[in-house]
A = this chain, B = another copy of it.
Amino acid sequence: MISTIAELRSFLAKARSEGKQIGLVPTMGALHKGHLSLVEACREECDLSVVSIFVNPTQFAPGEDFEKYPRTLDSDREKLATVEADVIFAPSTEEVYPPGSSTTVHVAGLTERWEGATRPTHFDGVTTVVMKLFQMVQPDRAYFGQKDFQQAQILLKMVRDLNLPLQMRICPIVREADGLAMSSRNAYLSTEERRASLVLYKSLQLAERFLAEGILDADRIRLAMEAEFSSEPLAKLDYVALLEAETLNEVDEIQSPVIALVAAWVGKTRLIDNLWLRPAPTTS
C-alpha cells in the first residue's frame, strides 16, 4: 500500500531494474468482480501488478456523484488480497493534482458523442488522469474493462496517438447472475431499481436475438431496444447506439461486428452497458 508518487517510483524502479514486467489496473475503488478480473488478467501476464485506487475529481462534473461515490478502501484491500495484487497505489487528491495543475490531454473526435454528450468534460478528466498514472507507473501493460466501452476506445486512441510505450488490454464485462453488468454505481440502486436495471442487458440481448434471426437493419434493432425501455417505467433511456467500434460512428446495416451501447437513468443512477453484435457467417 503506497500513497506517494516518490515511494511508488522508487519501488517500481527497483522491480524494473530486476527485469520485472509491470502491469497497471487503474480503478476508482469500490471494487467488484469486474475489477478483480482485471487484476487476475494482469497477474497472469505481468510479474508485478499495481492497482491504483483514486476517485478522480476531474472526470466528475459539478452536480455529479463525486462526493457520494463509494469509497471502501478497507474492503477494497481485502478483495485485492484475495487476488494477490502486489501494490495498491492510493494517493490523495493533492498528490495527484497539486495546486495550479492545468495540463490536460484531449482526444478529439471520440469524446464528444454518447457519454460525452451528457458529460462534456468527463473524458478529458479520464484521459488526463490515466496519462498521469501511466507516467507515474510506466507500466508495460494496462488493463481496462469493456464496460466503459467508449472510455476504452478513447484510451486506446490516446495511447496510439501519443505513442505511449505500453500495451492496452480491454477485458470482458463481468455480470451478476441475472445479467446486470457489474458497476460500483449499482450500490446506489434500491431493490426496485435493481430489478428495473436489468432492462439495459435485456435490450442488448434483444438486439442479439434480432441479429440471430437475420435482421441486420440497425434502425429496426434500435427501435426494438427503445421499445424494451418503454416497458420499464423506472428506467429512463438516454441512448441506444449501434456503432463501428473504432470510430464510434453509427451504422445503418450490420455487416461486420458492431458494438451496441446503452445508457439509461434508473432512478438517480446513471448506468451503461454494451455488447458486441456479430452477424452470423453467411453461407454462400
Contact = CB atoms under 8 A, between A and B. Distances in A.
Nearest to A127: B103
| Prevailing SS type, chain A contact patch | mixed
Contacts of A102: 107-110, 157, 161
Nearest to A131: B162
A255 interface: no
Nearest to A13: B165
Contacts of A5: 163
A224 interface: no
B103 A157 contact: yes
Interface residues of A, number: 26
Interface string A252-272: 000000000000000000000
Interface in A153-168: 157-158, 161-165
Given A162-B131, A165-B9, A105 B107 contact: no
A101 B161 contact: yes
Interface stretch (A40-48, A79-87, A132-140, A204-212): A132-140
Interface string A121-136: 0000001100110011
Given A157-B102, A158-B103, A136 B163 contact: yes
A21 interface: no
Nearest to A157: B103
Contacts of A236: none
Interface string A78-122: 000000000000000000000001111111111000000000000
Contact of A135 (B104, B106, B127, B165): B165
Contacts of A161: 101-103
A110 B164 CA distance: 25
Q: Which of A9, A132, A163 has the most CB of B within 10 A?
A: A163
24 contacts: A102-B107, A102-B108, A102-B109, A103-B105, A103-B106, A103-B107, A103-B127, A103-B157, A103-B158, A103-B161, A103-B162, A104-B105, A104-B106, A104-B108, A105-B105, A106-B106, A131-B162, A132-B162, A132-B163, A135-B163, A135-B164, A135-B165, A136-B163, A136-B165
